[in-house]
């Protein structure tokens, strides 16, 4: 039997979802909806023109293209992802965005073949929640960072998400789908664990900040689409079945003019010692 090329993709196996086209649309929305705020996050983390950047687990490359625009002609972005299908989309994104200073390749965060000490800035966006072995991933990232280089990890934590009305149904849905993702190797409580993980990996000046994203900024429809409903794709069949009644209540409640939701996006940075 052929080995599964996505065996190391933890709880994110694009191509094996029920609705792959919809998931790709969601990734695009997620990369564009709050881009201005995300650019401020990059600036605060120390990203500047001229840097060599690794976007690890870059997926369809939408964010990598934006990073390439920020580092400019004197900088360079390398996007790496395990998923061949997503890397093909990333090549298309590069062509349609007309950015030259970017390369994409297939690669596994657990077996990086990139040269050591070669990146000023490594960006890991919404991948750590899917990883079974974040310690090994961090060890590999540390190796490819230049001394003094920065790792910036962006991820979620289910203790930092809320919705009203039907708050109880929402909590139930978050718990059920979170448990399902855990069974698939993921971890939806990773956000608050990043501080300890980066420190343990030997990075310095580790800091975690929480970027609050509310439905007031992006609209309740997008809040549900980007931050909530897709979660059924990441869960097991059983947890999905269990979560469906709560999901129905949430969908109905989202039509209320008073519907409101928020998610805290965890941003953890750390530097490789000089
Ligand atoms: C939720 S997507 C995020 C993609 C992109 N960073 C973004 O923010 O749009 C998670 C990505 O992690 C990738 N991934 C999961 N495990 C990986 C591994 N072991 N090595 C490399 N990429 C991996 C998946 O293929 C997927 O593209």
What is the tens place of the pLDDT at every residue in 99-157?
999 999 999 999 999 999 999 999 999 999 999 999 999 999 999 999 999 999 999 99
The CATH number for 46's domain is: 3.40.50.150
C-beta 33 within 6 A of ligand 1? no
CA of 217 relative to ligand 1 center, distance in Å: 26
Confirm whether 151 is domain-assigned: yes
pTM of the model: 0.97
The helix or strand, by DSSP H or E, that contains position 247, with its residue range, turns out to be: helix 237-253
Which structural domain range is residue 129 located in? Answer: 20-158+188-215+260-271
- Comparing 137-141, 164-168, 198-202, 231-235, the range with the smallest average pLDDT is 231-235
Which ligand 1 atom minimizes the distance to the CA of 137?
19
The finding on whether 265 has its CB within 6 A of some atom of ligand 1 is: no
Give, as one character, the DSSP assignment of residue 101. S
Which pLDDT belongs to residue 132? 98
Q: How far apart are CA 12 and CA 88, in angstroms?
A: 17
Q: Are 55 and 152 in contact (CB under 8 A)?
A: no
Q: How many residues does the chain have?
A: 274
Residue 9 inside a domain? The answer is no
37: tokens are: 């705020």
Helix (H) or strand (E) segment spanning residue 63: helix 62-71
> Packing angle between helix 20-32 and helix 220-227, nearest 10 degrees?
120
Q: How many domains does the chain have?
A: 1
Model confidence at 3: pLDDT above 90: no
- Mean pLDDT for the chain overall: 96
Residue 40 is assigned to a structural domain of this protein:
yes
Is residue 186 within 6 Å of ligand 1 at its C-beta?
A: no
Half-sphere exposure of 204 (CA within 13 A, CB side): 8
């Amino acid at each position: 039997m052929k080995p599964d090329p996505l065996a190391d993709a933890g709880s994110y196996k694009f191509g094996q979802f029920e609705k792959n086209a919809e998931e790709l649309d969601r990734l695009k929305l997620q990369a564009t909806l709050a881009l201005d705020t995300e650019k401020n996050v990059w600036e605060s983390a120390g990203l500047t023109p001229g840097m060599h950047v690794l976007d690890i687990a870059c997926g369809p490359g939408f964010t990598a293209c934006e990073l390439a625009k920020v580092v400019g002609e004197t900088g360079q972005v390398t996007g790496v992802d395990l998923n061949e299908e997503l890397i093909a989309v990333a090549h298309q994104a590069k062509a349609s965005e007309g950015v030259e200073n970017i390369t994409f390749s297939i690669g596994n965060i657990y077996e990086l073949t990139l040269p050591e000490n070669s990146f000023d800035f490594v960006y890991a966006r919404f991948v750590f929640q899917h990883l079974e072995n974040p310690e090994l991933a961090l060890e590999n990232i540390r190796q490819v960072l230049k001394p003094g280089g920065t790792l910036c990890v962006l991820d979620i934590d289910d203790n930092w998400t809320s919705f009203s009305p039907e708050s109880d149904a929402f909590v139930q849905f978050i718990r059920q789908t979170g448990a399902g993702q855990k069974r698939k190797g993921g971890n939806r409580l990773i956000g608050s664990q990043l501080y300890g993980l980066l420190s343990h990996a030997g990075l310095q000046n580790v800091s975690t900040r929480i970027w609050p994203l509310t439905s007031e900024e992006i609209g309740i429809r997008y809040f549900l689409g980007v931050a909530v409903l897709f979660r059924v794709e990441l869960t097991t069949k059983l947890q999905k079945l269990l979560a469906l009644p709560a999901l129905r209540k949430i969908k109905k409640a989202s039509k209320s003019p008073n519907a409101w939701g928020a998610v805290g996006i965890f941003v953890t940075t750390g530097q490789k010692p000089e």
